[in-house]
Amino acid sequence: MPTRVQAPLRAKLKKRVYAAAAPASRKDKKRPMENFSELQISNYTKERLSSARFSTPTPVQAAAIPQALAGKDVLATAQTGTGKTLAFLIPIMEQMLHKITPGITALVLVPTRELAMQVVDQYNALRGKQL
């Protein structure tokens, strides 16, 4: 993106997007999430996470999931393999469980077919029979 476009976009996003970042120090007021069971999510999702052997969130998950569950926009950047997919799937799944509506409930855009297949695989591993 050219620089002349980046500045207005960044200014607009700063008004409503929360960047997900792990707490930088122990002086932070909130203790970072140490276990998925601490999340305010349905027992169904907790069971699905447990059955998929997810117990301890990565730093990007600990920072992003609570913000997304609170309905805030989240912009998270992290290296490959840090759990960004799960960080956005958990809030989507929770919304799907609580707001049953016909038709498309969520749209996930990814840049490659390979990444799309990874997202689908992760979702299928977590969704179980209720979704």
| Other Cβ atoms within 10 Å of 17 Cβ, number | 14
Q: Residue 75 belongs to what domain range?
A: 3-127
pLDDT tens, position by position, 103-118: 888 889 999 999 999 9
Give the tokens for residue 50.
């447990």
Beta-bridge mates of residue 75: 19
pLDDT tens, position by position, 63-104: 899 999 988 888 888 888 888 999 999 999 998 888 877 788
Domain count, the chain: 1
Own/partner pairs for 23-27, CB < 8 Å, 24+ apart? 23/63
CATH of the domain at 20: 3.40.50.300
Whether 15 has a pLDDT exceeding 60, the answer reads no
